[in-house]
């Protein structure tokens, strides 16, 4: 099944993660405000990090410690990416947010959170349009999580 994609932003915006860790250093309460899918929670638990996940109002989040992601290293890198070559899909999609409604992906840029954390990736690298194939792969992963095909 191929989902329709609706962009709520200009696809010619340039963005490339500069691995500064800014998005991982601002917490709201004791969580990083990016939703985890149940399959990702299972994977994190299998990796031995079950206590790193918090469940609030029917949503799973990554725990924050000292106002930053529990997986953030002193070098501002992700422990999950370093050790396992993997991280949650919403971390990889950042600063893009995604909603899947009636088989339609609605994508937007999280300007509010990006500005709060001081994201430095805007204006550098290829345009989002130039990275559309990579983005489609991540959206395919979201669809598999939502429709229950990935465990």
Residue 118: name the closest of 25, 8, 10, 27 by CA.
Answer: 25
Measured in degrees and rounded to the nearest 5, phi and psi for residue 72 equal: -75, 125
Distance between CA 65 and CA 67 in Å, rounded? 5
Q: What is the pLDDT along the chain (151 residues), one digit of tens a residue?
A: 567 999 999 999 999 999 889 999 888 889 998 899 999 999 999 999 999 999 999 999 999 999 999 999 999 999 999 999 999 999 999 999 998 888 899 999 999 889 988 999 999 999 999 999 999 999 999 999 988 764 4
User: Full-prediction pTM beyond 0.85?
Assistant: yes
Structure tokens at 78: 């992700």
Say whether 32 sits in a helix, a strand or coil.
Answer: strand
């Amino acid at each position: 099944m191929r989902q329709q994609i609706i962009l709520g932003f200009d696809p010619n915006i340039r963005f490339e993660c500069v691995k500064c860790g800014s998005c991982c250093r601002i917490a709201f309460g004791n969580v990083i405000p990016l939703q985890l899918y149940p399959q990702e929670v299972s994977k994190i638990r299998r990796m031995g990090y079950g206590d790193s996940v918090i469940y609030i109002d029917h949503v799973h989040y990554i725990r924050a410690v000292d106002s930053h992601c529990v997986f953030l290293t002193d070098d501002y890198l992700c422990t999950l990416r370093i050790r396992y070559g993997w991280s949650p899909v919403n971390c990889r999609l950042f600063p893009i947010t995604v909603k899947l409604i009636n088989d339609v992906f609605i994508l937007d840029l999280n300007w509010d959170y990006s500005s709060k954390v001081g994201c430095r990736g805007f204006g550098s690298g290829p345009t989002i349009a130039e990275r559309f194939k990579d983005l489609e792969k991540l959206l395919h992963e979201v669809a598999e999580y939502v429709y229950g095909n990935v465990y």
